[in-house]
Chains A and B, each alone.
Chain A
Amino acid sequence: MRHIISLLMANEAGALSRVSGLFSARGYNIESLTVAPTEDATLSRMTIVTRGSDEVIEQINKQLNKLVDVVSVMDLSDGDHIERELMLVKVHAEGADREELKRMSDIFRGNVIDVSDKTYTIELTGAGSKLDSFLQAIDRKLILETVRTGASGIGRGLRILKI
């Protein structure tokens, strides 16, 4: 099962490597990992997307909690949550393709954020699956470059991860 785990950790040098080291040392899978400071500058928030059986996910949660730098952990997949990822796609946009790519970007509520006579750079946000669909919907040959941030997640309503 795919799980999306959020955690708050002390914004200390090396904290990120403790988390990534834990995943590689114990053979856990990481699909994506994002991290950035929060409004409280002493804390970073990380979102990890992983896969595993219930037992493995339980261990991942416990092992993360055990890291001394980790303040709190929430498995967002345990309840209602929202997940967003940002993707930038640079496409070859000339001739008829130029119009078509703009149209597709609009359908997916993307923004063209950089334009040259040969290219567009499209910005898209959404759940990972939406970004995948966009890439499938456009002509593969036109894709010059993609960059994705990995998922960030947050609980719905009063599901709050804070200390």
Chain B
Amino acid sequence: MELTGAEITIRCLQEEGVEYVFGYPGGAVLFIYDELFKQEAVKHVLVRHEQAAVHAADGYARSTEKVGVALVTSGPGVTNAVTGIATAYMDSIPMVVISGQVPTSFIGEDAFQEVDAVGITRPCVKHNFLVKDVKDLASTLKKAFYLAKSGRPGPVLVDIPKDVSNHKTAFEYPSTVNIRSYHPQVTGDANLIKQAAQMLLEAKRPMVYAGGGVILSDAAKQLTELVRLIDAPCTNTLMGLGGYPASDKQSVGMLGMHGTYEANMGMQNCDVLFAVGARFDDRVIGNVAHFNSVPRKIIHLDIDPASISKRVKVDVPLVGDVANVLTDLIKVLKSSKQKPEARKDWWKQIDEWRSANSLSYKNSIELIKPQFVIETLHKITHGDAFITSDVGQHQMWAAQYYKFDKPRRWINSGGLGTMGFGLPAAMGVQLAHPGETVACVTGEGSIQMNIQELSTCKQFNLPIKVIALNNRYLGMVRQWQEFFHGNRYSQSYMDALPDFVKLAEAYGHVGILVEKPSDVEGALKEAFARKDELVFLDFRTDSTENVYPMVPGGKGLSEVILAEDL
């Protein structure tokens, strides 16, 4: 029996076990929407803006081990999706985006709602396809899912012209994929693993620096075992939080621009650095020359050879999947007769740095401190919620003060830093985990970039808790202006803010205004007690609070500004 391209598209999604498609209809995808209508296995979530569809698919993917799926129409549908696609690309999130295209015979004629989707998205996808013949559709979608989730994951776009979705062909979903030019390396080189093991055993001041690759590889268990085995301090990047339990004594917290003093000093002063699924980002190691000015050996484990020796030269490159390579490495370490060096002096040094208490802050009885809100949030949710975030100061406070013990609980845009990510991402997370607690930590600036999604939340009964740290400023911008631009707060004040409580109510949700520190805990309790409702908490926080510690851009990791320096 022959099926149309639209039927094939839906059948492929079913074959892939896709539970939710996040999307928005339009002319070029009408045949596909018609097929969606006729079945129930693949559920469609109608967002209010295509950017949100992609972020929601992204949040769904980050909080599960699955590929997120978004569906958008041609032209403005796909251009609206680009920010979402670039966000997923920068953080290596597995995703398939299906876009409609004008009919093949119209391509290149400046047809209505025609854009070169493949051209526009090329720099921000792992790969993309334009399907010109319905006969190629099933195999292309199969490849798209395979590419999205294998190797270093990433978004894949499949552009389907309207006529292709209406043409018929015999349907068969391929059971395997073979792309002759694509063979990600997942197992590590045995000799290099031995070399790494030896280096770790002999290290006097070892440090484990773990990133998003640990989360993507679902390797938190292996990482934890390794860190304990070699008795090293472990730091996590913003993308790696939860990959190692933050409450463990070997954890030194997040590193980088807003990392803890002990993490950054440990990075700078260790003699053997083991980077695991992390990419030496500029927000992480600061000034490269300063970082390189002290000798240390570096072992770098990453599935993408291009991540290795990109910004910092490494001594032992381990190309492979984190879970896989760590399992092998642990075996080698366990079978070795040699025991790790005694690390008493190193731990003494780490504890000394720790005692600087770089995350301490002065609480207030008059003004709500944002850090206090996050600490209370942690307490009320028993540290066990899924937390999504937008971008800015509130993001850093959430990362610093919500101590993540489990992977895939912290969902944020690290690489692109996309304001507007938090709320739609939370929708994807909540749909993937019905019944679980999901909170979106946001700012009054960021939330307004996708606030229309409150409507989607109503339609799909998503009881997300929106924790708005409302400081009346584009706080992160204001902080940089205070530090580096002579307190000239150019366009960083948020005037004419809406009444968020009324706004939440207008969308059919509950809104709570919190203005006093003494009301913080009560408000949070009340919000989380409303299990079936979305609650928007508008916390009026101290508008002048800054994020500390801070390693200013271009500075070295030890050239840090601490709160008490000022």
Chain A contacts to B: CB under 8 angstroms: 9-10, 13-14, 17-18, 21, 25, 55, 58-59, 62-63, 65-66, 68-72, 163
Whether A70 pairs with B304 at a CB distance below 8 angstroms is no
- Residue of B with least CB distance to A9: B181
A88 CB to nearest chain B CB (Å): 31
Instruction: Please give, as numbers and ranges, the residues of chain A lying within 8 Å of B122 by CB-CB distance.
Output: 14, 17-18, 21
Instruction: Report the bound CA distance from A55 to B123 in whole Å.
Output: 22
Which B residues between 452 and 489 are near A, CB-CB below 8 angstroms?
none
B281 CB to nearest chain A CB (Å): 15
- B18 CB–A CB distance under 8 Å: no
Instruction: Please give, as numbers and ranges, the residues of chain A lying within 8 Å of B337 by CB-CB distance.
Output: none
Q: A17-B122, A21-B122, A59-B310 are in contact. Are A68 and B304 (CB under 8 A)?
A: no
Q: A14-B118, A68-B147, A68-B179 are in contact. Are A21 and B123 (CB under 8 A)?
A: yes
Whether B127 pairs with A68 at a CB distance below 8 angstroms is yes
Whether B306 pairs with A13 at a CB distance below 8 angstroms is no
- B180 CB–A CB distance under 8 Å: yes
Instruction: Please give, as numbers and ranges, the residues of chain B lying within 8 Å of A25 by CB-CB distance.
Output: 123
- Residue of B with least CB distance to A63: B306
A70 CB to nearest chain B CB (Å): 6
Whether B181 pairs with A68 at a CB distance below 8 angstroms is yes
- B182 CB–A CB distance under 8 Å: yes
- B305 CB–A CB distance under 8 Å: yes
Q: A18-B122, A68-B127 are in contact. Are A55 and B309 (CB under 8 A)?
A: yes
Q: Mark B305-316, 1 if CB is under 8 A from A, else 0.
A: 110011001000
On chain B, the number of residues with a Cβ less than 8 Å from chain A's Cβ atoms is 18
Instruction: Report the bound CA distance from A124 to B562 in whole Å.
Output: 67
Partner of A68, one of B130, B182, B313: B182
- Residue of A with least CB distance to B304: A66
Instruction: Report the bound CA distance from A70 to B309 in whole Å.
Output: 21
- Residue of B with least CB distance to A25: B123
- Residue of A with least CB distance to B307: A62
Shortest 4 CB-CB contacts between residues of A and residues of B? A62-B306, A71-B181, A68-B127, A25-B123
Which B residues between 273 and 322 are near A, CB-CB below 8 angstroms?
304-306, 309-310, 313
- B498 CB–A CB distance under 8 Å: no
- B119 CB–A CB distance under 8 Å: yes
Whether A71 pairs with B180 at a CB distance below 8 angstroms is yes
Residue of B127, B130, B181, B306 with highest tally of chain A CB at under 10 A: B181
- Residue of B with least CB distance to A24: B123
- B126 CB–A CB distance under 8 Å: yes
- Residue of B with least CB distance to A22: B123
Q: Mark B390-411, 1 if CB is under 8 A from A, else 0.
A: 0000000000000000000000
Q: A21-B123, A63-B306, A66-B306 are in contact. Are A13 and B130 (CB under 8 A)?
A: yes
Instruction: Please give, as numbers and ranges, the residues of chain B lying within 8 Å of A163 by CB-CB distance.
Output: 180
Instruction: Please give, as numbers and ranges, the residues of chain B lying within 8 Å of A13 by CB-CB distance.
Output: 130
Instruction: Report the bound CA distance from A59 to B119 in whole Å.
Output: 23
Whether A10 pairs with B310 at a CB distance below 8 angstroms is no
Instruction: Please give, as numbers and ranges, the residues of chain A lying within 8 Å of B306 by CB-CB distance.
Output: 59, 62-63, 65-66
A27 CB to nearest chain B CB (Å): 13
Instruction: Please give, as numbers and ranges, the residues of chain A lying within 8 Å of B304 by CB-CB distance.
Output: 66
Whether A70 pairs with B181 at a CB distance below 8 angstroms is yes
Chain B contacts to A: CB under 8 angstroms: 118-119, 122-123, 126-127, 130, 147, 179-182, 304-306, 309-310, 313
A163 CB to nearest chain B CB (Å): 7
Instruction: Report the bound CA distance from A163 to B118 in whole Å.
Output: 28
Instruction: Report the bound CA distance from A14 to B129 in whole Å.
Output: 9
Instruction: Please give, as numbers and ranges, the residues of chain A lying within 8 Å of B118 by CB-CB distance.
Output: 14
9 sample A-B contacts, Cβ–Cβ < 8 Å, listed by A number? A13-B130, A14-B118, A18-B122, A58-B309, A59-B306, A62-B306, A63-B306, A68-B181, A71-B180
- Residue of A with least CB distance to B180: A71
Instruction: Report the bound CA distance from A65 to B127 in whole Å.
Output: 13
A10-B181, A58-B309, A68-B127 known; 9 other A-B pairs, CB under 8 Å? A9-B181, A14-B119, A14-B122, A18-B122, A55-B313, A68-B147, A69-B181, A71-B181, A72-B181
A54 CB to nearest chain B CB (Å): 10
Instruction: Report the bound CA distance from A52 to B301 in whole Å.
Output: 26
Instruction: Please give, as numbers and ranges, the residues of chain B lying within 8 Å of A63 by CB-CB distance.
Output: 306
Instruction: Report the bound CA distance from A18 to B129 in whole Å.
Output: 12
Instruction: Please give, as numbers and ranges, the residues of chain A lying within 8 Å of B179 by CB-CB distance.
Output: 68
Instruction: Please give, as numbers and ranges, the residues of chain A lying within 8 Å of B119 by CB-CB distance.
Output: 14, 17
Instruction: Report the bound CA distance from A66 to B130 in whole Å.
Output: 20
Instruction: Report the bound CA distance from A21 to B116 in whole Å.
Output: 15
A161 CB to nearest chain B CB (Å): 13
Instruction: Please give, as numbers and ranges, the residues of chain B lying within 8 Å of A59 by CB-CB distance.
Output: 306, 310
Instruction: Report the bound CA distance from A17 to B310 in whole Å.
Output: 23
Instruction: Please give, as numbers and ranges, the residues of chain A lying within 8 Å of B181 by CB-CB distance.
Output: 9-10, 68-72
A98 CB to nearest chain B CB (Å): 47
Instruction: Report the bound CA distance from A70 to B119 in whole Å.
Output: 18
Instruction: Please give, as numbers and ranges, the residues of chain B lying within 8 Å of A58 by CB-CB distance.
Output: 309
Whether A65 pairs with B182 at a CB distance below 8 angstroms is no
Instruction: Report the bound CA distance from A9 to B126 in whole Å.
Output: 16
Instruction: Please give, as numbers and ranges, the residues of chain B lying within 8 Å of A71 by CB-CB distance.
Output: 180-181
Instruction: Please give, as numbers and ranges, the residues of chain A lying within 8 Å of B305 by CB-CB distance.
Output: 62, 65-66
Instruction: Report the bound CA distance from A10 to B127 in whole Å.
Output: 13
- Residue of B with least CB distance to A68: B127
- Residue of A with least CB distance to B311: A55
Instruction: Please give, as numbers and ranges, the residues of chain B lying within 8 Å of A18 by CB-CB distance.
Output: 122
Residue of A14, A59, A63, A69 with highest tally of chain B CB at under 10 A: A14
Instruction: Report the bound CA distance from A41 to B349 in whole Å.
Output: 63
Instruction: Report the bound CA distance from A163 to B309 in whole Å.
Output: 27
Instruction: Please give, as numbers and ranges, the residues of chain B lying within 8 Å of A72 by CB-CB distance.
Output: 181
Instruction: Report the bound CA distance from A68 to B177 in whole Å.
Output: 13
Instruction: Please give, as numbers and ranges, the residues of chain A lying within 8 Å of B309 by CB-CB distance.
Output: 55, 58
B134 CB to nearest chain A CB (Å): 17
- Residue of B with least CB distance to A13: B130
Instruction: Report the bound CA distance from A124 to B182 in whole Å.
Output: 39
- Residue of A with least CB distance to B123: A25
B74 CB to nearest chain A CB (Å): 17
B152 CB to nearest chain A CB (Å): 8
Instruction: Please give, as numbers and ranges, the residues of chain B lying within 8 Å of A69 by CB-CB distance.
Output: 181
B108 CB to nearest chain A CB (Å): 12
Instruction: Please give, as numbers and ranges, the residues of chain B lying within 8 Å of A62 by CB-CB distance.
Output: 305-306
Instruction: Report the bound CA distance from A87 to B173 in whole Å.
Output: 50
A71 CB to nearest chain B CB (Å): 4
Instruction: Report the bound CA distance from A14 to B127 in whole Å.
Output: 11
Instruction: Report the bound CA distance from A38 to B309 in whole Å.
Output: 33
Instruction: Report the bound CA distance from A69 to B304 in whole Å.
Output: 16
Instruction: Please give, as numbers and ranges, the residues of chain A lying within 8 Å of B180 by CB-CB distance.
Output: 10, 71, 163
